[in-house]
């Protein structure tokens, strides 16, 4: 298309160049990545980063070699959750991710490149999108079975760039139980559909509180409608994470690697089997 602005969300047409090889970027020549899964949310503050970090921990507990790309450039929280305070190292060959101490999860984030982690990133969208693309092309992701991308919330520039330029196996939508969930999940699903990226599952975070006396699940934010929403959009699986102060405390203390991720176990097993079946074990190398 000669008049293509590369903004598929505004065009809305199902054109043949969408997510074609013209858009996809090649990873660093020294990278080896089997699967890439984006973790998205329709709005901020739903626990997307916490869910992304927990999925990475659960994947590593399956014995996989795991990486996390923190594409939430203006609100990067992944390094803190994993207790990473150092700076990422680079050479003339590329940038090396930092590695978590217990499970060896490779992490790249804007906060690992800044002199001071309190420094705000006050950049235009195009610069932010370019940096996220570099996290794919210039970082050496060595021997990775699964790379999770913690996306910024919503359906703006960065999610669009990631959907178009990185060969995703699929996306996981994170939400919370409230009446807007249908509409918010709908936006994520429609964006992913437009980019031909399958939605692998929905995580309902802060789904309930477990009574400390009798283990009853109390739906503090109202009854969940996530199963109905998943059914409506043909999304194959749902996971529910409780409100758990220990999760927040672990994240604040940089000890997410020690947190209980058992509520994501079956969910992750299902996702892994889906993406392994689709990719047939091939590495990401788009050209
Ligand atoms: P988002 O990425 O959607 O903006 P975060 O993952 O940064 O949200 O989470 C926001 C805050 O809520 C963090 O302090 C996190 O530790 C806390 N949090 C997220 N999920 C839970 C949960 N299930 N139980 C308790 N605290 C949570």
- Separation of 248 CA from ligand 1 center, angstroms? 6
Q: How far apart are CA 35 and CA 161, in angstroms?
A: 18
- pLDDT by residue (tens digit) across 107-166? 999 999 988 878 888 778 788 889 999 999 999 999 999 999 999 988 888 899 999 999
Strand pairing category for 217-218 and 209-210:
antiparallel
pTM over 0.85: yes
Measured between alpha carbons, how far is residue 259 from residues 58, 201, 213, 264, 281 in Å? 10, 21, 21, 12, 29
Low-confidence ranges of the chain (pLDDT < 50): 1, 16-17, 287
Atom 27 of ligand 1: nearest residue by CA position: 248
Q: How far apart are CA 287 and CA 276, in angstroms?
A: 21
DSSP 120: -
Atom from ligand 1 closest to the CA of residue 252: 16
Atom from ligand 1 closest to the CA of residue 43: 3
Tokens standing for residue 103: 């499970």
- Separation of 46 CA from ligand 1 center, angstroms? 6
Atom 22 of ligand 1: nearest residue by CA position: 243
Query: Which residues have CB under 6 Å of ligand 1?
Result: 41, 44-50, 77, 205-206, 241, 243-245, 247-248, 251
User: What confidence score (pLDDT) does residue 1 get?
Assistant: 46
Measured between alpha carbons, how far is residue 10 from residues 143, 171, 191, 193 in Å? 37, 21, 11, 14
Q: How far apart are CA 169 and CA 162, in angstroms?
A: 12
How would you class 234 by CB atoms within 10 Å of its CB: exposed for 0-12, middle for 13-18, buried for 19 or more? exposed
User: What confidence score (pLDDT) does residue 225 get?
Assistant: 87
User: What confidence score (pLDDT) does residue 5 get?
Assistant: 52
Atom 17 of ligand 1: nearest residue by CA position: 248
User: What confidence score (pLDDT) does residue 23 get?
Assistant: 77
Q: How far apart are CA 24 and CA 252, in angstroms?
A: 36
Atom 15 of ligand 1: nearest residue by CA position: 248
């Amino acid at each position: 298309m000669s008049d293509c602005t590369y903004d598929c969300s505004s065009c809305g047409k199902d054109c043949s160049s969408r997510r074609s090889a013209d858009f996809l970027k090649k990873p660093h020549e020294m990278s080896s990545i089997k699967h890439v899964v984006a973790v998205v949310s329709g709005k901020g503050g739903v626990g997307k980063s916490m869910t992304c970090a927990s999925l990475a921990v659960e994947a590593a507990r399956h014995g996989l070699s795991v990486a996390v790309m923190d594409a939430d450039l203006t609100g990067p929280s992944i390094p803190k959750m994993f207790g990473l305070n150092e700076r990422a190292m680079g050479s003339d060959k590329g940038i090396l991710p930092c590695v978590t101490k217990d499970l060896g999860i490779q992490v790249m984030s804007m906060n690992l490149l800044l002199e001071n982690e309190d420094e705000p990133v006050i950049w235009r969208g195009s610069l932010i999108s370019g940096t996220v693309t570099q996290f794919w092309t210039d970082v050496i992701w060595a021997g990775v079975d699964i790379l999770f991308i913690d996306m910024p919330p919503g359906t703006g520039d960065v999610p669009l760039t990631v959907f178009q330029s990185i060969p995703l196996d699929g996306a996981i939508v994170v939400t919370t139980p409230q009446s807007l969930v249908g509409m918010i999940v709908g936006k994520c699903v429609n964006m992913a559909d437009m980019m031909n990226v399958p939605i692998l599952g929905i995580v309902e975070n802060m789904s309930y509180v477990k009574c400390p006396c009798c283990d009853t699940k109390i739906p503090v934010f109202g009854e969940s409608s996530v199963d109905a929403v998943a059914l409506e959009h043909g999304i194959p699986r749902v996971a529910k994470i409780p409100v758990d102060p220990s999760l927040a405390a672990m994240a604040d203390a940089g000890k997410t690697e020690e947190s209980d991720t058992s509520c994501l176990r079956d969910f992750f097993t299902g996702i892994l089997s889906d993406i392994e079946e689709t990719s047939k074990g091939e590495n990401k190398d788009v050209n």
